Each structure stands twice: as structure tokens, then as C-alpha cells.
């Protein structure tokens, strides 16, 4: 659970630390506002996708299921600046599927916490394997990092791409190619 009082105190200290006057009109309510915002931005810290991924439906076929362009917003844990972009998720069912909205919910659980993109990609793929138990899963995240674009090397528009492959996707280049084609990143 987010401790709003601690965040308020921390934001006051932070503002003083950067040389601001915390009594000026525009900043008076900022600590409280940020504390409230944090309950939303970091809601995933105490969550797992278990409840989302365990409501499954039985299916006979084992055709690939792919949800692409799931928009997400997360916070880089090294700089506490946003990184945001699209998640693409695929899996090959082994007798059961989940509602498509549950894949987006799973992304949210891992986005709403201090995060690094590589880890988030792996966590989504691992969660699918653990709770849905498909034959395999593949996850691709494409994101722009504010810590790359508004500071440091300042490369606006650059995108970081991370991929995780599990189960039947690991040793199957054809299946991987199919994934890339389906998300619009193939070369065919
Ligand atoms: Zn960063």
C-alpha cells in the first residue's frame, strides 16, 4: 500500500532540495496531489495477474492468440521518469484461453510499479506460462524512455525493443517470424 503521508513529506523535501519555495501558490497542494497520483501509478506493486489469468475458457484448437498494440505507461526505476509504448502478446493455447482484456490487465499489473523494460517483458511472459499454462508465449515491448529523451543523450523518438520467448516459441523461428509479421515488424 502507498503511504500517502510519507510521499507528501518526501515531495516537500524534494522541492526544497531543488531550491523551490514550497509555500508558493502553485506548489502548496503539489505534495498531496502527487501522493494521490502515486496510488494510481504504483497500484501494481501489491498485485499479481493471477486473478486475471485464471479465469479461462476451454478451446479445442491450438491456434496462436495474439493481442497487439496494448498501450502502457510505466516508470523507470533508475530515474523515476516515465517510459511508455506498446506491448504485443502472443501465446499458443494448451486447451484454454483467457479473455483478451485479461492480457491488457496483466500488462497493467507490471507497468504500474517502478520498472525496467527488460524485466517487465520477462514478467509478462512468465505470468502467462505460470497461470495460463500455454504451449508457449512471446512478448514484445516497444517503448520510449523519458530518461533517454529529456536528459542524458537526448534521443527523442528512439524506441527500446525487448522480447521474451517461452515454451514452443523458444526454438521455433517460423513461429517467431509469424509473431513479427502479425505485429507488423516482419520483413515479408
Ligand atoms: Zn531510466
Compute the distance between CA of residue 97 and CA of residue 70 in angstroms, rounded to an integer.
18
Q: How far does the centroid of ligand 1 lie from the alpha carbon of residue 18, in Å?
A: 19
| Cβ atoms 73, 114 nearer than 8 A | no
pLDDT tens-place string over residues 16-63: 999 999 999 999 999 999 999 999 999 999 999 999 999 999 998 889
Q: How far does the centroid of ligand 1 lie from the alpha carbon of residue 148, in Å?
A: 7
What does the pLDDT read at residue 187?
62
What does the pLDDT read at residue 97?
95
Compute the distance between CA of residue 88 and CA of residue 71 in angstroms, rounded to an integer.
9
Q: What is the mean pLDDT of each run of 10 residues along the chain (188 residues)?
A: 93 98 97 96 95 91 94 97 98 94 97 98 98 97 93 83 98 95 80
77 as an active site residue: the answer is yes
What does the pLDDT read at residue 34?
97
Q: How far does the centroid of ligand 1 lie from the alpha carbon of residue 15, in Å?
A: 20
Number of helical H runs and strand E runs in the chain: 7, 7
Catalytic residue among 8, 38, 76, 123: 76
145 as an active site residue: the answer is yes
What does the pLDDT read at residue 183?
94
E strand map for the chain: 56-58, 65-76, 82-92, 96-98, 114-115, 136-145, 160-167
Amino acid at each position: 500500500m502507498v503511504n500517502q503521508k510519507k510521499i507528501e513529506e518526501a515531495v516537500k523535501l524534494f522541492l526544497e532540495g531543488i531550491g523551490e519555495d514550497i509555500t508558493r501558490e502553485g506548489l502548496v497542494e503539489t505534495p498531496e496531489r502527487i501522493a494521490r497520483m502515486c496510488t494510481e501509478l504504483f497500484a501494481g506493486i501489491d498485485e499479481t495477474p493471477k486473478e486475471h489469468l485464471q479465469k479461462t475458457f476451454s478451446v479445442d484448437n491450438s491456434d496462436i492468440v495474439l493481442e497487439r498494440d496494448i498501450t502502457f505507461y510505466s516508470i523507470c526505476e533508475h530515474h523515476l521518469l516515465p517510459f511508455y509504448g506498446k506491448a504485443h502478446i502472443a501465446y499458443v493455447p494448451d486447451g484454454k484461453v483467457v479473455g483478451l482484456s485479461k492480457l491488457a490487465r496483466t500488462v497493467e499489473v507490471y507497468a504500474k510499479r517502478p520498472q525496467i523494460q527488460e524485466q517487465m517483458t520477462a514478467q509478462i511472459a512468465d505470468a502467462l506460462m505460470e497461470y495460463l499454462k500455454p504451449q508457449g508465449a512471446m512478448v514484445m515491448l516497444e517503448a520510449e524512455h523519458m530518461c533517454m529523451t529529456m536528459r542524458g543523450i537526448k534521443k527523442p523518438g528512439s524506441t527500446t525493443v525487448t522480447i521474451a520467448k517461452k515454451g514452443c516459441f523458444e526454438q521455433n523461428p517460423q513461429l517467431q517470424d509469424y509473431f513479427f509479421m502479425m505485429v507488423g515488424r516482419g520483413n515479408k
